[in-house]
Amino acid sequence: MRPPPHILVVNGIKVRQPVFVLAAPHSGAVPVARALKRSPGFHVTMGRAAVSHVVHAFARRPSIAGRGMGATRVLRDAMAESWQILPDACQECPAPCREAGGVTGTGPCVASGSVARFGDATPDLLYSAPVLLQAFPDARFVQLIRDGRDVAADMLADPEALTWFRPAMLSEETEFPNPFLGVNSGEHRERWKAMPTAGKCALRWRGAVRLAASLHRELPRDQLLTLRYEDVAASPADAAEQLTRFLGTRVSGFALYGGNVPKVGVWRTRLRGTDAELVAKVAREELTRLGYT
């Protein structure tokens, strides 16, 4: 049974049907968040420190997220802090969020009087989805699925993403199963540490898409929209129309395709030799299930 709804008020605005964008790393969350951020009435944040700290704590130690209403309050409070519209708030935002909001000066990216709806697309938000649903029972979730080979290729070129693959990440205190790193058992700890980085990238993607599949089975259709990134890239207008219908708010296809967007099929030129073979081996089941062959 879900807890009674908690009415959250931010800047004098009741938070109703917030939108959360979920995806594995480099799977297209940023373009979708940019499009939402530029839609009328939306205030969407991406990677604010208050949320990132909580999200990564939940991702690395899943048991924390399962501690009842305590975890729910912590995440709700983090979102409330992130959504505050203050004169210098955007200065604390990471570059993708500032770019999406077109921030060039010191002021906020939105005016409080124009906001009717909130959202967040913090990286790795996927691992907090059950807590988000408890915190915001009327939330809407948009999740992106992208070819795991392209994801691995982009992760290998991203120094920030690679910091999660240090051997210390799987310490004696690590909890299992660990979807964040894609490791199911402590028995695999040493194998993971010895695995080439391309394989670890594939495990990260595999763990994320398995969580995405669970959400697809468990959430009602009016609360979850799953988009294949390749379809978004091929036809931003169609993707924008799906988002518009799902959210009841006009979303621009031009905003979906503007700025830096992941390229489709980059693995063919950037994943070479043993890396390509390892990614295909680790992620074979999910690649096949999702039609990436």
Pair (87, 179) in one structural domain: no
CA torsion, ordered 134, 139, 144, 148, to nearest 10 deg: 0
Pair (157, 187) in one structural domain: yes
Q: What would the two tokens of residue 199 be?
A: 């394989």
Pair (162, 283) in one structural domain: yes
Residue 69 domain-assigned?
yes
Lowest-pLDDT choice from 77-91, 98-112, 183-197: 98-112
Look at the chain and report how many structural domains it folds into: 2
Please give the residue range of the domain that contains residue 174: 149-219+263-293
Q: What is the mean pLDDT of residues 123-139?
A: 95
Amino acid 105: pLDDT: 67
Pair (13, 99) in one structural domain: yes
Pair (33, 84) in one structural domain: yes
Residue 2 domain-assigned?
no
Whether the predicted pLDDT of 259 surpasses 70: no
Where is 290: in which H helix or E strand? none
What's 119's domain CATH number?
3.40.50
- Tell me if 55 sits within 8 A of 127, measured CB to CB: yes
User: Which residues have CB under 8 Å from 89's CB, separation 6+?
Assistant: 108
Query: Could you give the CA distance from residue 106 to residue 88 in angstroms, rounded to a whole number?
Result: 6
Closest CA to 56 of 153, 160, 133: 160
- Tell me if 120 sits within 8 A of 79, measured CB to CB: yes
Pair (87, 133) in one structural domain: yes
Residue 1 domain-assigned?
no
Pair (108, 156) in one structural domain: no
- Tell me if 21 sits within 8 A of 120, measured CB to CB: yes
Whether the predicted pLDDT of 173 surpasses 70: yes
Pair (160, 257) in one structural domain: no
Say whether pTM exceeds 0.85. yes
Residue 20 domain-assigned?
yes
State the Cα angle at 142 between 73 and 281, rounded to 5°: 105
Whether the predicted pLDDT of 67 surpasses 70: no
Residue 200 domain-assigned?
yes
- Tell me if 29 sits within 8 A of 126, measured CB to CB: no
Summarize pLDDT for 4-38 with one digit per residue, the tens: 556 799 988 999 999 999 999 999 999 999 999 99
Pair (273, 203) in one structural domain: yes
Backbone φ and ψ of 220, nearest 5°: -65, 155
Q: What is the mean pLDDT of residues 247-263?
A: 84
Residue 3 domain-assigned?
no
How many C-beta atoms surround the C-beta of residue 279 within 10 A?
28
Pair (199, 226) in one structural domain: no
